[in-house]
Amino acid sequence: MEIRSFSQLHKICESAAKKTHYPSVIEELHKKLPREWWDCGEATLWYFLPRAILDLPTKLERQEAIASIPKDTDPPNMKGFVESGVIALWRQEKKRVA
């Protein structure tokens, strides 16, 4: 497979993020992207994971998905980035409903 556009990469990363548990997300990404695109794809995932995790039906499932992100990511503290993204999106939605 050849990546020809941003939208193609976008769709692959968004789809992989919907797996929500980090090992499954990375596995899906690596299946769908050529090896030379793995770093770019992994860097892009961080923007899709908060929404995908927030869309999980229970708080426990969201906690488990966040817990599946390793502590030793590149760049560092991506677990915290994703967790704060989930909280920010949750607060936005809570304000819209109120």
Alpha-carbon distance 10 to 41, whole Å? 9
Q: Is 21 exposed, middle or buried (0-12, 13-18, 19+ CB in 10 A)?
A: middle
Domain ranges of the chain: 6-97
What's the pLDDT at 75? 77
pLDDT tens for each residue of 39-52: 999 999 999 999 99
Evaluate if residue 57 carries a pLDDT over 90.
yes
Q: Which of 66, 44, 42 is nearest to 54 (CA)?
A: 66
Average pLDDT on 87-96 reads: 92
Sign of CA dihedral 26, 28, 30, 33: negative
Q: What is the tens place of the pLDDT at every residue in 63-78?
A: 999 999 998 887 788 9
Residue 7 has what pLDDT?
95
Output the pLDDT for position 37. Answer: 96
